């Protein structure tokens, strides 16, 4: 069943919450608000492109991991993994809601230097303290478990086969929207073009079709356009679109077991993808790009991705490229971590931006956090304050060493 066609004109002149952006983060926020028994307000979600054709939500590789170097990111993904595994129960036990598969082949970080090995060891200690199943592995141990790797230059590896891997996030996205609508959340195909701010509060938003809508709270969930949205409220956030490549290929000599999502020291990553394999990497020159710039550099596969993959896994010397696409990160140039919470200058403007490639897996915790902030004025479950906006003004980056 396809979701209903979205209207472009709001039904009301005033809403308790207006969410700008209806992709994964906006829909998560809408659903968790609708599912919160203590929230009884009216919610409007404004989405400029209801096809989501170029949204990060549609172009994601849909993976989840706990191998982060900061506790907050680990905790966020642990909640996400539990949410995925128990999706139907979280959605009220409706038998029509499908289970969401989570294929736990794990991430395999490979270190070619002692310095990178130290980074992995530090991360593993933090992950273990949080209850994650990450283990450090010697080259001999890696070879015993995965004999297809070329490990001549590898000093160590870090692997977690528990609640790390691929999940069918599009199912969550679909059902969040469906169930939010069934509980009264209104989704419209439109665009916010201006906001009215009075001192330290936003009073209304103006739509591309001319309507002015009063808003008690405004949530900025507009992905790569987050900085443009924030600017309407008089706030600057360090977010820009960055291109990230995905390659799907067939192997003449497929592996005899699932390939963990392997992060090569070159920066290229590769994993199993059903009958095929999926790889990805950033371009060597990684500037901000235009919002509609999805032009593919076809030399990147031949000159960077495939040579690194074939060197690491010799059985991939004979492969056939099946598909290539580009997605955009909403890249936080400050510290590559999410910004969530009120903008201190405008407390009723909630930021939900800058996920830098982690957004899909972090969406359950973020949606829940936004719901708690709006309903109670504070987080009640997972304390997301380490990701607050003020760290930017205070020049206090939350540095995450495990970036892909």
Name the band, by pLDDT with cuts 50, 70 and 90, for residue 269.
very high
Instruction: Compute the Cα dihedral for 365, 61, 357, 160 and give only its sign.
Output: positive
Q: For residues 311 and 153, give the distance between their C-alpha atoms in angstroms, rounded to a whole number.
A: 11
Assess whether 205 and 345 both reside in one domain.
Answer: yes
Is 93 part of a structural domain of the chain?
A: no
In a domain, 81, yes or no: no
Q: Give the domain CATH number at 386.
A: 3.50.50.60
Residue 272 near residue 310, CB atoms below 8 Å: no
Strand order in the sheet with 165-167: 63-64, 165-167, 102-103
User: Would you say 132 and 66 are in contact if contact means Cβ atoms under 8 Å apart?
Assistant: yes
Number of domains present in the structure of the chain = 2
Domain co-membership, 159 together with 248: yes
Assess whether pLDDT exceeds 70 at residue 329.
yes
Looking at residue 402, its pLDDT comes to: 72
Closest-CA residue to 270 (of 31, 72, 110): 110
pLDDT score of 366 more than 60? yes
Strand 339-343, strand 346-353: pairing: antiparallel
Residue 201 shares a structural domain with residue 324: no
User: Which of 308, 329, 350 finishes a domain?
Assistant: 329
Contact by Cβ (8 Å): 212, 194 = no
Q: Do residues 159 and 26 both lie within one domain?
A: no
Q: Are both 161 and 195 inside the same structural domain?
A: no
Listed residues 329, 363, 383: the one ending a domain: 329
Q: Work out the percent of the chain whose per-residue pLDDT is above 70.
A: 99
CATH of the domain at 291: 3.30.9.10
Confidence check: pLDDT of 63 > 90: yes
314 inside domain: yes
Judge if 161 and 175 occupy the same domain.
no
Are 179 and 233 within one domain?
Answer: yes
Task: Render pLDDT for 190-237 as a digit per residue (tens, 0 to 9).
Answer: 999 999 999 999 999 999 999 999 999 999 999 999 999 999 999 999
In angstroms, the CA 286 to CA 71 distance is: 28
SS3 (DSSP) at 223 = helix
CB atoms within 10 A of CB 368: 25
CA distance 54 to 78: 28
Q: Are residues 367 and 384 in the same domain?
A: yes
Q: Give me the pLDDT at residue 100, please.
A: 95
4 band by pLDDT with thresholds 50, 70 and 90? low
Q: Which domain holds residue 274?
A: 103-166+241-329
Averaged pLDDT of the chain: 96
Q: What is the pLDDT of residues 12-33, one digit of tens each?
A: 999 999 999 999 999 999 999 9
**Helical H segments across 86-196, by residue range:** 87-90, 114-129, 139-145, 169-182
Q: pLDDT tens digits, residue range 282-300?
A: 999 999 999 999 999 999 9
Element holding 227 (H helix, E strand): helix 226-232
Residue 325 confidence class, pLDDT cut points 50, 70, 90: very high
Question: Are 143 and 112 found together in one domain?
Answer: yes
Rg (CA), the chain: 21
Look up residue 338 and give its DSSP letter. -
Q: Considering the entire predicted model, what is its pTM?
A: 0.96
Nearest C-alpha neighbor of 31 from the set 77, 66, 83: 83
Asked whether residue 73 is domain-assigned, the answer is no
Residue that finishes a domain, picked among 280, 303, 329: 329
- Cβ-contact 306, 313 below 8 angstroms: no
pLDDT digits (tens, 9 = 90+) for 64-106: 999 999 999 999 999 999 999 999 999 999 999 999 999 999 9
How confident is the model over 111-128, as pLDDT tens digits?
A: 999 999 999 999 999 999
Reading the block at residue 57, the tokens are 């939500």
- Residue carrying structure tokens 């995905």: 246
Residues 384, 382: Cα–Cα separation, whole Å: 6
Coil, strand, or helix at residue 362?
Answer: helix
Query: Does the structure show a pLDDT above 50 at 1?
Result: no
Strand, coil or helix: 365: helix
């Amino acid at each position: 069943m396809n979701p209903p066609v979205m209207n472009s004109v709001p039904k009301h002149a005033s809403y308790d919450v207006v969410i700008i952006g209806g992709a994964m983060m906006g829909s998560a926020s809408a659903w968790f608000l609708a599912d919160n028994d203590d929230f009884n307000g009216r919610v409007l979600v404004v989405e400029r492109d209801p096809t989501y054709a170029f949204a990060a939500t549609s172009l994601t590789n849909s993976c989840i991991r706990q191998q982060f170097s900061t506790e907050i990111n680990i905790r966020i993904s642990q909640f996400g993994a539990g949410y995925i595994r128990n999706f139907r129960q979280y959605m009220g036990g409706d038998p029509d809601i499908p289970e969401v598969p989570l294929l736990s082949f794990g991430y395999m970080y490979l270190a070619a230097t002692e310095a990178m090995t130290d980074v992995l060891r530090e991360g593993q200690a933090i992950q273990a303290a949080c209850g994650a199943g990450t283990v450090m592995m010697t080259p001999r141990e890696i070879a015993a478990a995965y004999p297809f790797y070329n490990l001549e230059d590898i000093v160590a590896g870090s692997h977690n086969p528990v609640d790390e891997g691929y999940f069918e996030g599009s199912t969550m996205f679909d059902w969040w929207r469906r169930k939010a609508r069934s509980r009264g959340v209104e989704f419209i195909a439109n665009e916010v073009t201006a906001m009215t701010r009075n001192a330290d509060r936003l009073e209304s938003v103006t739509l591309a079709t001319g309507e002015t809508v009063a808003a008690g709270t405004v949530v900025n969930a507009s992905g790569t356009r987050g900085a443009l949205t924030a600017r309407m409220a008089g706030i600057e956030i360090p977010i820009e679109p960055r291109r990230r490549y995905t390659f799907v290929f067939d192997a003449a000599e497929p592996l005899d077991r699932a390939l963990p999502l392997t992060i090569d020291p070159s920066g290229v990553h590769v994993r199993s993808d059903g009958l095929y394999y999926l790889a990805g990497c950033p371009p060597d020159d990684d500037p901000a790009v235009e919002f509609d710039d999805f032009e593919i550099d076809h030399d990147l596969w031949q000159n960077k991705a495939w040579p690194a993959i074939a060197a690491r896994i010799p059985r991939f010397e004979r492969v056939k490229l099946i598909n290539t696409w580009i997605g955009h990160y909403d890249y936080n140039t400050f510290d590559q971590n999410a910004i969530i919470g009120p903008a201190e200058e405008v407390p009723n403007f909630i930021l939900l931006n800058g996920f830098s490639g982690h957004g899909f897996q972090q969406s359950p915790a973020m949606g829940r956090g936004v719901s708690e902030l709006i309903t109670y004025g504070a987080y009640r479950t997972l304390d997301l304050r380490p990701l607050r906006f003020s760290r930017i003004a205070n020049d206090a980056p939350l540095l995450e060493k495990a970036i892909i």
